Amino acid sequence: MHELALCQGLLAEVARVATAHRAAAVTRILVAVGPLSGVEAALLDRAFSVARAGTLANEATLEIEAAPIRVHCANCGAESEATVNDLRCAACGDWRVRLLGGDELLLKRVELAVTADDERNAEPAAGAGNGGVAAMSIR
């Protein structure tokens, strides 16, 4: 299952972030999925509930947002949004476009829970906020 392998890669990246910040748990994961990535959000969500078992993200919620399709036009140089069924330049209608985005699976944000003890021991750069919860974005 394609999505399960993707989830395991995603969770490995999440675990790296969580470990770097000495997080007790991962509370929320936000990913952007492009319509041309071939990833089904529903399948990704189901795979996540399997793949997260036994990891720091065991209790985390996965949020999936749709990334826009963006193209660069070789004719007029414009960058515009396109749709799956129509990848032409929105400015001039030319079909000679290069894909800038829309085929990606991107880890956009990881929210971590940091216990009070861990917070005391963590370096200030960890940026733990109030309530013992640190939120961060990675790109």
Residues near Zn ion (CB under 5 A) are 73, 75-76, 78, 89, 91-92, 94
d(CA 105, CA 80): 20
Q: How many CA atoms lie within 13 A of 38 on its CB side?
A: 4
Based on CB atoms, which residue is closest to Zn ion, 74 or 138? 74
Q: Alpha helices, DSSP H only, in 52-85?
A: none
Based on CB atoms, which residue is closest to Zn ion, 67 or 97? 97
Closest separation in Å from C-beta 5 to Zn ion: 37
- Locus of tokens 């829970």: 113
Closest separation in Å from C-beta 97 to Zn ion: 7
Based on CB atoms, which residue is closest to Zn ion, 20 or 76? 76
Based on CB atoms, which residue is closest to Zn ion, 28 or 70? 70
Closest separation in Å from C-beta 91 to Zn ion: 4
Closest separation in Å from C-beta 73 to Zn ion: 3
Closest separation in Å from C-beta 88 to Zn ion: 8
Based on CB atoms, which residue is closest to Zn ion, 90 or 133? 90
Contact 59, 111 (CB under 8 A): no
Nearest to 107 by CA among 5, 33, 22: 33
2 forms beta bridges with none
d(CA 130, CA 82): 41
